[in-house]
Amino acid sequence: MEKNSADIIIIGGGAAGLMAAAGAAGKFAEDGRAAKVLVLEKMPRPGRKIMITGKGRCNFTNVKPWNEFSSHIHPKPNFLKHSFYNLTSEGMIDFIERNGTETVVERGDRAFPVSHLASDIVDALVRAAENAGAQINCGKEVKEISKNEGRFTIRCTDGSEYNCLKLIICTGGLSYQKTGSTGDGYRWASIFGHNVKPLFPSLTAIVPRGYKTDAPAGDLKGHINRNTPLSETGESLCGNQLKNVSLSLYIDGNLAQEEFGDLDFTDGGIEGPIGFKVSRRCVNAITNGSKASVIIDLKPAVEPEDLTVRIGCLWNEISKDKKTANKLYKDRFRILLTKVLPMSLIPAFTKLNPGADHKTLPKILKNWKFDIAGFVGYERCVITAGGISLDEITAKSLESKLIPGLYFAGEILDLDADTGGYNLQTAFSTGYLAGISAAK
């Protein structure tokens, strides 16, 4: 049996794990020698989930200052504060550039590699960890962890065994399980006595009622697999991208959240920046037995009274125009719709609002309601909400309050964020702090 000893072992070679390795390696132990740091990654290569971030473009951080950045962190942003100030967004950009990858900040304060290739970010992280002295062992799936006489023992499925003084678990959540995120870390945390807060998908598609064909219930209440075929209604909506609209989320009839921006209808359901923003509360509500609905305001910049006047004027013009005056009402109404809606959206809009006419159109444009049937699950959600209780972790070091020498970082913690670079920065900051804390 292969046996290896190290000062610090990091389980998981993703965003948090690679930053933990860079933080821990190269630091000096109390006896004056460099700490030996090993990363155990189950996949053939590290950083697999980073590779698909931002559709492969990798929005790796957001340069908003803490007071704005923190408003995008859930459920307890103050827990992240010490990690963030230890490695800020600007610090992360400098870190990436020092390790050979040029970056650029684009709209919304989002930072990307200049190449818009996620592989360049992964290369920079691996380079940083290895240059600091960490060893990355891939193809090492951990099956068992124990602690005896002050040291941790880690056994892998291939029969290899490792032991260490400090252990950092950075195994991610449950999203995109093909990248290696299968929730192993939650099980180990529970074995060590940690409380795992309820898990649910976040930054995911929410599915309007009737958008998909009927499908068997998923493993989670409200889960509708993304591969479930679209209904005729779903087909007519899919592919439409709405710019500068308002999306309001209602839980059991009460307004819970309102967002302004861009929205996409996809093969999953309602997505895009503002769709993702409301998905956290929407999914959480559905899994807890509440009813959810959304209202899209297609003309948020126009007051209802002004919109009524504007549409009235357009209708009068169409009705008086010699080319259209003698057309059937439905044909004249369709012409009106082309003046206020994208052409591609009109078939779905008329199908879902069969009673609409020129008088009711202003109200419908401001209040297009969709009851939500469910959501796409871990197979395609961006992030896992919930995780190891923050009450049991020391924020200034990321060390367990229950087990000395045990640290957690990244998505495994009960910390998640909105889309826009916030989740990766959270992983980088917590990973780096866990690494330097373990090395002290």
List all residues 6 or more positions away from 106 whose beta carbon is below 8 Å from its beta carbon.
Answer: 112
pLDDT in tens, 189-238: 999 999 999 999 999 999 999 999 976 566 789 999 999 999 999 999 99
Q: What is the mean pLDDT of residues 241-252?
A: 98
Mean pLDDT of the chain: 94
**CA separation, residue 250 to residues 119, 257, 258 (Å):** 39, 7, 9
| Residue 158 CB burial class (10 angstroms; 0-12, 13-18, ≥19) | exposed
Percent of the chain with pLDDT over 70: 97
Domains in the chain, please, with CATH? Answer: 3-197+386-439 (3.50.50.60), 204-381 (no CATH)
pLDDT of residue 1: 37
Instruction: Confirm if 292 and 207 have CB atoms less than 8 A apart.
Output: no
Percent of the chain with pLDDT over 90: 90
Look at the chain and count its residues. Answer: 440
Residue 303 structure tokens: 């007051």
Cα–Cα distance between 9 and 166 in angstroms, integer? 7
Pairing mode, strands 61-62 and 110-113 = antiparallel
pLDDT of residue 322: 86
Q: What is the mean pLDDT of residues 86-95?
A: 98
pLDDT of residue 34: 78
Q: What is the mean pLDDT of residues 271-278?
A: 96
Cα–Cα distance between 278 and 386 in angstroms, integer? 16
Cα–Cα distance between 435 and 170 in angstroms, integer? 11
Neighbours of 315 (CB within 10 A): 19
Whether residue 30 is predicted with pLDDT greater than 70 in this model: the reply is no
SS3 1: coil
DSSP state of 399: B
SS3 145: strand
pLDDT in tens, 276-328: 999 999 999 999 999 999 999 999 999 999 999 999 999 999 999 888 888 99
Q: Which residue has the tokens 């992030």?
A: 383
Higher pLDDT, 26 or 303: 303
Q: What is the mean pLDDT of residues 382-387?
A: 96
Q: What is the mean pLDDT of residues 163-177?
A: 93
Residue type for 198, please?
Answer: P
Cα–Cα distance between 238 and 265 in angstroms, integer? 5
Strand partners of residue 264: 241, 271
pLDDT of residue 173: 94
Whether residue 32 is predicted with pLDDT greater than 70 in this model: the reply is no
Higher pLDDT, 175 or 65: 65
Residue 383 CA neighbour count, 13 Å, CB half: 31
pLDDT of residue 28: 58
pLDDT in tens, 9-24: 999 999 999 999 999 9
